[in-house]
Structure 1
């Protein structure tokens, strides 16, 4: 790889924490250090879907603004 152009690094992830028996909290990050609160959800499936969607949209909007 001889291209010296630097590309932005991305650590796209989210965390789901069970708050109570039927409540899951979601936070997402792009850099692995700064998390944004996404929301609380009633099911694990909804929580992961929301985290995935939020992190994807966050990355898309951040890289779109950088270009």
Structure 2
């Protein structure tokens, strides 16, 4: 998130939107890797795994649910 404007305030410039999409894609890959690890672990009941988040991770949660 260091690539976004300091303080997270103000309108995003077009290149900031591109940065946001890039960061969402990178973080989504991490989320799917974590889910794969958790659901494949022998001590995890895969039917009880949930993903929750707010703000940026809330976006990730919605994207993961599709």
Query: Is TM > 0.5 for Structure 1 vs Structure 2?
Result: no
- Larger RCO (CA within 8 A; separation ≥ 6): 1
Higher helix share: 2
Q: What TM-score does the superposition give when structure 2 sets the normalisation length?
A: 0.36
Q: Greater share of strand residues, 1 or 2?
A: 1
* TM-score normalised per structure 1: 0.35
